[in-house]
Chain A
Amino acid sequence: MDSSSLIGTKNRKGQVYTDTAIMMNESPRTPSFFTGSEVIKEAIRRASIDVMIAYPITPQSEAAALIGELFAEGYIGDYFRGESEFAVMSQCAGAAFGGARVFTTTAGPGTMRAMENFPMWAGARLPIQMIVTCRGINSPLSIQPDTLEIAYLLQTGMLVWHAETAQDFYDWILMGYMVSEEPDVHLPLALCCDGFFVTHTKDIVELTPADMCLPPYDPYRSPVPCMDMECPPVRMMRDPFVMKSNYISYATHASWQQEVWAAVERSRKHTIKWLNGLIETENVDAEILIVTSGTAVSQGREAIRLLDEEGIRVGLVKIKTLRPWPADEIREATKNAKYIIVPEFNVVGWMAREIRATIHDSERVIAGPRVCGGMTMPPEVIVEEIKKVLGIRATSFTGRG
């Protein structure tokens, strides 16, 4: 089945399968005041999902349950609660192996519990989309926002995007499938956001019409066979290379790993088209740049406004995709910067490490300010960091009372 032939026809809910470019870029948008969780639901309503598998963990539980309501209304092919995140991600794999468009959500310890599945998803070329509403993962227990889990996802072979706002989230969920499902990509997508800050706050989001939905997934555009016995069941290997100690087996594994990462790179061109670039910049001719992703970008914008009031000009680089990593774009955007400030919501500073490994003169990178464990990052903290770098004496903010 070529799913493009279904464009213009209606699904069982009366939604019209619509060319994604028309739906996302040309159709009228309606401003709506929603929480991030509700925005996830509204995107999924329009995403022609075959299977969604849910599991409760804060702060994604509400979104996962709202999608259950969509299933009850008939918008989703099948939906159930799994028994753990490890099982859920395996269930998602099974459904994707069987040719379904699959969606799931997780957070923090759930991401960690499921981790073994992610390189398997990428290696098996399963274009599953997983929303990650980041939260603390370490002991003692925390349910608060913290982006440490993203550092682990970066090495899995999945596409990893980091949304700043609910609007990003809405658009990227729908566009994400278009990138993930390209035959030359065909990889899972971890679509991350900062838990609570995005999921539990209300924001105005411009929604596409509710009577339009994505064209269905066509599993026969996959670069690997769909496991549905609808095409000849070739013996996959005459000699299984697993556990064979010979050069061919090593070469096979090595080349496949390289192919997965090559597919991550090949996703660039599609991602640039849909997301209008892997990064977004403002005033990059300034001496000082804030470079980061997620809600740290929003806090950076506010810090820039505060500094502007004092006559200090600061530019901004918002990194939208972490995998593929926009190395060239970051090098170009930061080439004139004297100081690169990297605010982050985690203790290790993985974003600063990534940027340091990317640019020339990496001592320009100021790895901070960083907060973690659910701490908020008032823009004043970023302002203070920048003033410190510039040698301006600031009223101490963090040392107060």
Chain B
Amino acid sequence: MSKERIQIAPEFFDIMPVEYQDLVSKATYGNEERGWKDIGTSKELIEEHSLCAGCPESMAFRYILASLPNPEDTVMVGSTGCTSLVFPHVALHNIHSLFGNQNAVASGLKRALTVRFPGRIKDVVVLAGDGATVDIGLDMTLQAWFRQEKFTTICFDNELYANTGGQESGLMQKGFVAKMAPMGKSFDKVRLPEIARESGCHYVVNCTVSKPSLVEKVIRNAVLIAREIGPTYLQLYTPCILEIGKDSMEGLQEMRDSEKPTGRFAFKEYVSEPAKQLLAELAAKNKERKEAAKQLVS
């Protein structure tokens, strides 16, 4: 979809909802330079959200939506959980169907869009919590990777079931005392980033969302690699401040504390050989484009 598709007939402009007017006049659709720095200066794909005050997920949502390289042709797939409270506010086509089936839905969706729009780019991005990705939906998460489905999987890892009130999840740390783990969790945090690599993902990142520039970089890489090569996986720490006993202002610090070099969310990135080649090509093209623009100015 191009930006022209969302134009409003001039006669009706003044009676359209203000959000829609704003979307038409200020959306960053089609802007190849779009990124987290647009937040607050142009129309965002999300405004209000219905998460808890200070929830790091809300930051993650903003950064991700600002960083998608091709939002005008991106469809997102969610799952049940806190994220499903946010998606109805997001100005992108997005699908919620069941709990845990997000990678199966995305597989069918991506294939349908490929059949229907040959030669056109249609990106599919999955965004779901850790319960959906690693526990109830693990089968479908992995099988989509085995099949080399060309979409990005983003897991908001808050290390528990937040929306149902803080129960143990597979990505929870060992020993953490939670609902349904009254004696403390008895096994290690599932090592999904490593499993993702072994399952055929071409780009895998494990990090927090404390730095918007980093989120922007990994989102762009993940979407572009998925578009051209195969599955990509991002595991982003979005702590549930409510369930780990923190205040609204403490989410950012919690992420910073856990991303130290020895922390469980120290930045880790895996890039497959074909993906490395693609990123190098894209970087070269980008450089060329910027230099051409510079010469045009001078």
Contacts and interface: CB of A to CB of B under 8 A. Distances in A.
Interface of A: 50-51, 53, 77-78, 80, 82-84, 86-88, 90-100, 102, 116-117, 120, 124, 225, 227-240, 242-243
Interface stretch (B83-91, B196-204, B278-286): B83-91
B143 A229 contact: no
B294 interface: no
A91 B97 contact: no
B116 A87 contact: no
B116 A98 contact: yes
B95 A94 contact: yes
Q: Chain A CB within 10 Å — which of B20, B92, B106, B112 has the most?
A: B112
Contacts of B88: 235-237, 240, 242
A229 B116 CA distance: 12
Contacts of B77: 94
B19 A51 contact: no
Contacts of B108: 51, 53, 90-98, 100, 102
Given A229-B75, A229-B122, A95 B101 contact: no
Interface of B: 1, 5-6, 19-20, 23, 48, 50, 72-75, 77, 84-95, 97-98, 101, 104-117, 122, 139-140, 143, 147
Contacts of A80: 111, 147
Nearest to A94: B108
B73 A98 contact: no
B50 A94 contact: no
B140 A87 contact: yes
B91 A235 contact: yes
Contact of A94 (B73, B105, B143): B105
A239 B90 CA distance: 11
A228 B91 contact: no
Contacts of A231: 1, 5
B89 A240 contact: yes
B114 A78 contact: yes
Nearest to A217: B116
B113 A98 contact: yes
Q: Is the interface of B mostly helix, strand, loop or mixed?
A: helix
B93 A100 contact: no
A51 B107 CA distance: 11
B89 A235 contact: yes
A51 B75 contact: no
Nearest to B46: A235
Residue among B92, B105, B140 having the largest count of chain A Cβ atoms under 10 Å: B105
Contacts of B5: 230-232
25 contacts: A83-B104, A84-B139, A86-B101, A88-B104, A90-B104, A90-B105, A91-B108, A93-B97, A93-B101, A94-B107, A94-B108, A94-B110, A98-B113, A116-B98, A120-B97, A227-B94, A229-B93, A231-B1, A233-B92, A234-B91, A237-B88, A237-B89, A238-B48, A240-B85, A242-B84
B116 A99 contact: yes
Residue with the greatest number of chain A CB neighbours at <10 A, chosen from B104, B107, B113: B104
Contact of A117 (B6, B98, B111): B98
Nearest to A88: B104
Contacts of A225: 93
Nearest to B70: A229
A264 B84 CA distance: 28
A100 B115 CA distance: 8
A294 to B, nearest CB: 30
Contact of A87 (B23, B84, B139): B139
Per CB-CB distance, the 7 closest pairs between chain A and chain B, nearest first, are A94-B108, A98-B112, A95-B108, A90-B104, A77-B115, A90-B101, A100-B112
A98 B97 CA distance: 13
A102 to B, nearest CB: 8
A232 B73 contact: no
A98 B140 CA distance: 19
A158 to B, nearest CB: 15
A97 B95 contact: yes
Contacts of B89: 235, 237-238, 240
Given A90-B97, A100-B116, A235-B88, A229 B1 contact: yes
Contacts of A94: 77, 95, 97, 104-112
A215 B19 CA distance: 38
B107 to A, nearest CB: 5
A235 B89 CA distance: 5
Contact of B104 (A87, A96, A232): A87
Nearest to B24: A232
